[in-house]
Structures are given as C-alpha cells and as structure tokens.
Amino acid sequence: MQLYPASSNAPEKPDLWSIRGKSYDLSKRGMIMGIINTTPDSFSDGGLFESTEAAIEQAIRLENEGANIIDFGGESTRPGAEKVSVKEEINRILPALKKFVALRSSKTLISIDTSKSEVAEAGLEAGADIINDVTGFSDPSMRKVAAKSECGIIIMHMAGNPRTMQTSPNYINVTAEVITFLNDQIALCESEGISQKRIIIDPGIGFGKNLEHNLDLIRSIPQITKMKRPILIGASRKTFIGKILENDDINEREWSTVALTSYCREQGATLFRVHSVKQNLDAMLMTEAIIN
C-alpha cells in the first residue's frame, strides 16, 4: 500500500499547534495530557471520578503535577464498552468541566474526549479548547462543530468501534493504513474549513490493534512524523503493556508507560495522554534535555 505524502497545504512549521487563535510550539517542549474519566467503566480508573467533586480534585491534582491539558471523557472506549446516550455523556462531563474552567490556571487547556458532535459542541460552549475524537472526525456533524470554532482537534485512528475493535484486528500494513486514514481525515477537515495547523494526529494505540500492530506503530513514529503534524501517543496502562510484562495488574503498568513516553518523545511524538502526569512529564523533560 502506498503511503500518502504530507499535504502540500501542511504548515511550514509542523510543530506549531493552533488552539483558539494561539500557537503552541511543540518543537522543543512537548505536552502532557492528563486523563479524567467521569465514567463507571473505564478500563483503568472507572468509577474513581464519577462525582463532580472527585473529577475536579483529580483535575487540579493533574494540573499541579504539570499537565498542559486536562482531558474530560464521559463514555468509556475500552474494548467491549457499551455506548451511552448524548444526554448521559453530557451529564457526566459538563458539571466538572464547567467548574474546572473557573478554577484552572490560564495556561491550562481543556479537551473533551467524545465522538458525539452534540457533546463536543456543549463542551466547547462550556469552555473546552480541544476536541479529542477517537473516531477521527468521521462524522460530518463533528467536522461542522469544529469548523465553527477555532478549537484544536485531535484526529485518531480506530478500526471498528469499541465494542468490536479487538475482535481479530487485521491489516496488510498497519502503519500505511493508519497514515492513509489520517491523511484522508485531514483532507476532509480541510475541505470544510479546518486549517491543518489546528490538527494533531493520533495513531490510536490499542484501538483495533493487536500487540504487534501497536509495536509496529510505535516503531514507525519517525515515518508518521513525515505527515508534518504533531503526534499524540495514548498508550497509558494499556493491555498490550500487560501482555509484554505478562502481568494483568493495571497498576503495574505505570513505569512501562513512562518508558514509552521517553522513547516516543525521542522518536518525534510531542503529546502524551496519560493517567499519571508527574512521572511521564519528568521522563519527557529528561528526554528533551538530551535530544535538544
């Protein structure tokens, strides 16, 4: 399968990410995104931050540890997870998000992790800065919501959906197919008025990929950087780590996550979505001190 070249419309400085009219330079200093799952069934922290109070306390904790972005999600995307309604997802996310908007530092960004355009729109109206869509903006209505704002957007690759994605995932060339999808989605977004400089790409580690697919994508980060957009890696505590360690205890996957943050930063990734901020931030900063 032939890989798409970077778009001729790619920004001259591919490490710049535009969010609400402000440019963030990721060339020397990457970003850490801290995860807040306001769900009862997320694979790692389901049920821990369902209440508004617990979610806000965790958001403040992650911000104090150095998170640049706090990512609020109200629907689990773990393998086999069931869908929730728009109303339920909004009810899970918005109370904490709205309160955190008033409490956050002026330097802290907020992303909303959703595949529903109605939820994304409500989150942006409440003060979120970024849409993080695991379906890669495949829904035209999601692209329309993004086009109406100047928010940052994260386009992720996922094969299938959370209910089916881990049922015998199959690729001829996983890296080529992921790059093709991401390029296609960037082109769609551009055609609807969304500038490339607002876009970050995510190869979707663990989303419709087996162990070897995940490792292939991580090895291929230098190839993915040729797309000329910043790369997000979301590998925190995921199942493939447990398979490598031969250990099902999710709490035993933290230092392996830190190792991945360091390795992927060295290879060219610049944004890391993690559950534990301080350890991953320290690893990223140390790696940047060496490579820069």
- pLDDT value of position 84: 87
What is the 8-class DSSP label of residue 7?
A: P
- Give a yes or no: residue 12 inside a domain: no
Band of the pLDDT at 245, cuts 50, 70, 90?
A: very high
**% of the chain exceeding 90 in pLDDT:** 80
The CATH number of the domain holding residue 260 is 3.20.20.20
Q: CB under 8 Å to 273, separation ≥6 — which residues?
A: 33, 35, 71, 232, 233, 234, 236
Q: What is the mean pLDDT of the segment spanning 112-141?
A: 97
12: its two tokens:
């001259």
Q: Does residue 189 carry a pLDDT above 60?
A: yes
Question: Do 131 and 145 touch, CB atoms closer than 8 A?
Answer: yes
**For the chain, how many structural domains are there in total?**
1
Residue 14 covered by a domain: no
Q: What range does the domain containing 287 cover?
A: 25-291
Rounded Cα distance between 62 and 72, Å, is: 12
3 falls within a domain: no
Residue 200 has pLDDT above 60, yes or no: yes
In a domain, 11, yes or no: no
Mean pLDDT of 32-55: 76
From first CA to last CA, the distance across the chain in angstroms is 34
pTM of whole model > 0.85? Answer: yes
pLDDT of amino acid 13: 78
Task: Calculate ∠ Cα 202-205-210, nearest 5°.
Answer: 145
pLDDT tier, 76 (very low <50, low <70, confident <90, very high otherwise): confident
Give the per-residue pLDDT at 124: 98
Q: Is the pLDDT of residue 2 over 50?
A: no
Could you read off the pLDDT of 275-287 as tens digits, one per residue?
999 999 999 999 9
Residue 247 lies in a domain: yes
> Catalytic positions, please?
238, 273
Q: Are 270 and 15 in contact (CB under 8 A)?
A: yes
Q: How many CB atoms are closer than 10 A to CB 87?
A: 10
The answer to whether residue 188 is domain-embedded is yes
Within-domain flag for 83: yes
Q: Is residue 272 within 8 Å of residue 29, measured between CB atoms?
A: no
Q: 181-184: which pairs have CB atoms within 8 A and are 24 or more residues apart? A: 181/136, 181/157, 182/136, 182/155, 182/157, 182/227, 183/4, 183/7, 183/227, 184/4
Q: How far apart are CA 57 and CA 117, in angstroms?
A: 27
> pLDDT at position 43, please?
47
3-class SS of residue 240: helix
| pLDDT exceeds 80 at position 86 | yes
Query: Is residue 156 domain-resident?
Result: yes
